[in-house]
Structure 1
């Protein structure tokens, strides 16, 4: 199992004490989010302007109706804050960046997808909820992390083998599922308070049986993608 380590660029910077227990993970996420003084503009990311594109590994989920209903409930309650909600068909968990179109060749994508197939772990499920956040988003905690870390590690290894190692190692991976993006600098306190009132909503179990290699693009203040490869877990 890959070991997590502290990383100031990750959120939370410190990993949770137990990556097996969803309750411990959720409490750790909440402690980090509720301690924020200020939130930043998610869209003010260097090199990621409107229209930018890149290849990523990501997860979407087969029981999307339950997830979409949970997201909609949270987004409706948070609407007065003016966040940018993630559309129901845009809910995803980002795993690893592969590279930019024009730099990564179609042949490399083919080799990557083929090599990944032999390394992927078995299909699994994770629990989404309760709600927390980061410096630039409101997001659902996911747990347990163990199968997600194994999946990320397999993607990193396959990428390294074809010369496409992700910039972020598994040690800095912090699984989550964003529901709304913050679009300006602001005090975190009102957002933390609004999120706190939604933390008792029932969790949703998410099945993970396929990982997708997508060409992700930014369209204004949302993300869209085209699937280039879908690879089934064992």
Structure 2
């Protein structure tokens, strides 16, 4: 399987119990407490206004409780001057497929058809307030097991079409961002702003679809076009 850590993953290692909400939340927060300096999320090599990349993502259209909850958190952290993610842009990134210049449209269509046969059943997760990473403020998420199973299924689908997995399943750190840091700054003020929000109630989210999108950056905001929506089979869970 390879190493279970990666210097680009945050937190560096997964939590000891990735399905227990309290354990996941504490693990994410403790990792952030050890961070001394925020980085500019947008300062990413390889990205430009012309970049177009295919990704598998979970998006949350119509999830009004999550959107309203996120807006309240964004209002609370507004003095930090971060770039808030609009309600329509809330998402969980699962897997990078590749640049549009490298993956033909026909392959994308075939990939979506294969993924439809591979994906697991629908499941419920919880968005847990609130934590941060080196470049963003975000919800922790639990349980991880169904998310990792979905990531593994999408990876298998990609392998069927000679699309290499950009990141192994065991290196995925599920989360939902609400605001991006747009400059280097000490973390102390971020921790002070986020800490009171950790007492808020978690939000249940039913995951019944995964979307294959073409992602782009428009100024300091992500935008995407949905190319395929793959339904997860209904579940009683």
TM-score strictly above 0.5: yes
Aligned to 1:19: 18
Q: Give 5+ residue unaligned stretches, structure 2.
A: none
Report the counterpart of residue 210 of structure 1 in structure 2: 209
Contact persistence 2:51–2:99 (CA under 8 A): no
Q: Give the aligned partner of residue 111 of structure 1.
A: 110
- Establish whether residue 69 from structure 1 lines up as the match of residue 68 from structure 2: yes
User: Normalized against structure 1, the TM-score is what?
Assistant: 0.96
Structure 1, unaligned runs of 5 or more: none
Contact kept, 8 Å, 1:51 with 1:219, in 2: the verdict is no
Residue equivalent to 1:191: 190
Counterpart mapping for 1:1-234 below 5 A: 5-61=4-60, 63-234=62-233
**CA distance in 1: counterparts of 2:210 and 2:2, whole angstroms:** 22
Partner Cα distance (1:62, 1:53) in 2:
22
Count of equivalent residues: 233
Farther-moved stretch of structure 1 (4-13 vs 109-118): 4-13
Contact 2:125–2:206, Cα closer than 8 Å, also in 1: yes
Q: Distance in 1 between matches of 2:149 and 2:62?
A: 22
Q: What CA RMSD, in Å, does the superposition of the two structures yield over aligned residues? A: 1.3
Q: Where has structure 1 moved over 3 Å in runs of 4 or more?
A: none
Partners of 2:30 and 2:2 in 1: CA distance: 21
Q: How far apart are residue 63 of structure 1 and its match?
A: 5.0
Q: CA deviation at 1:62?
A: 5.2
How far apart are the structure 2 equivalents of 1:161 and 1:23?
A: 37
